[in-house]
């Protein structure tokens, strides 16, 4: 119809110059707009060119690990990088190079981090998913602990990629601490246990991984006042994007053996 309106309880409409009322109940009156004919001059124009593939910015660390960032500001001492709302400084000696590359290329396809080894990456992903952890958190812990060196050994006796102490490794069933699969399985299991113990508070999980859960309990379920532990929590926590106040490093109490 050309027009329609309601007068009291009666609906009137006009169509082709004829006006009539409708005796049946009307559910609704709804306008329908005809689509405008496209401008032929516009329709004949060629489609705009596709934008060039976006390039991702990656920081490569010494040893092969790398991760994607939003932007980088290099200095003589290192580089500040931004990732989301996080801003972190990386020392120059830890940086191998900074590159832009086509999105989706390289061994980190589908991820924004890589250890530099497809095998290690898959172990991180598989074990993290098995115990319901974020693979990126596991990646950061390994990078901080061992820089992805399978046979890494600390002065305190921690071994392997996630630097398990011998007693912790035995408790977790890790018989070969320098076997990447066993070590990462045990390390992610330990992180899961700490997550459950501290109700998912990542700062306490990181503090416990560094100093032991006993130290966190001793200080009232808080990050202990050990400088090494507080630096550890701050470094990983900032890169992981933890919110809230980070622990201060104004104490110099030696970190106990885990």
End-to-end CA distance of the chain: 83
Phi-psi category of residue 203: left, alpha or beta, with phi > 0 → left and psi -120 to 50 → alpha: alpha
Residues involved in catalysis: 145
CA–CA gap between residue 235 and residue 88 (Å, rounded): 8
Q: Quick one: which of 130, 7, 117 has its CA closest to 66?
A: 117
How far apart CA 101 and CA 86 sit, in angstroms, is 22
Tokens of 123: 């172990």
CB 200 within 8 A of CB 192: no
Sequence-distant (≥ 6) Cβ neighbours of residue 133 within 8 angstroms: 188, 191, 192, 195
Secondary structure class of 89 (helix, strand, coil): strand
The answer to whether 231 and 224 have CB atoms below 8 angstroms apart is: no
Q: State the helix-helix crossing angle for 180-197 and 135-146, rounded to 10 degrees.
A: 120
Contact 93, 126 (CB under 8 A): no
DSSP state of 172: T
């Amino acid at each position: 119809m050309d027009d329609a309106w309601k007068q009291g309880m009666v609906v009137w409409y006009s169509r082709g110059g004829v006006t009539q009322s409708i005796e049946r109940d009307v559910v609704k009156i709804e306008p329908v707009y005809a689509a405008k004919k496209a401008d032929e001059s516009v329709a004949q124009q060629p489609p705009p060119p596709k934008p060039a593939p976006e390039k991702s910015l990656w920081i490569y660390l010494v040893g092969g690990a790398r991760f994607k960032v939003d932007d980088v500001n290099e200095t003589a001492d290192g580089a500040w990088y931004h990732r989301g709302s996080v801003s972190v400084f990386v020392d120059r000696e830890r940086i191998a190079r900074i590159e832009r590359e086509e999105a989706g290329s390289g061994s980190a396809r589908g991820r924004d981090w890589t250890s530099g080894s497809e095998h290690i990456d898959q172990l991180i992903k598989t074990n993290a998913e098995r115990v319901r952890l974020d693979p990126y958190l596991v990646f950061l812990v390994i990078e901080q602990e061992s820089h992805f060196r399978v046979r890494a050994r600390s002065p305190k006796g921690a071994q392997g990629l996630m630097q398990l102490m011998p007693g912790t490794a035995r408790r977790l069933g890790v018989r070969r601490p320098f076997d990447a699969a066993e070590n990462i399985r045990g390390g992610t299991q330990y992180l899961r246990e700490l997550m459950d113990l501290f109700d998912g508070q990542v700062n306490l999980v990181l503090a416990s991984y560094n100093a032991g859960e006993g130290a966190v309990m001793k200080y009232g379920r808080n990050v202990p006042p050990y400088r090494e532990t507080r630096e550890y929590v701050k470094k990983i926590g900032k890169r992981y994007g933890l919110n809230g106040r980070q622990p201060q490093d104004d104490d110099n109490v030696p970190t106990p053996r885990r």
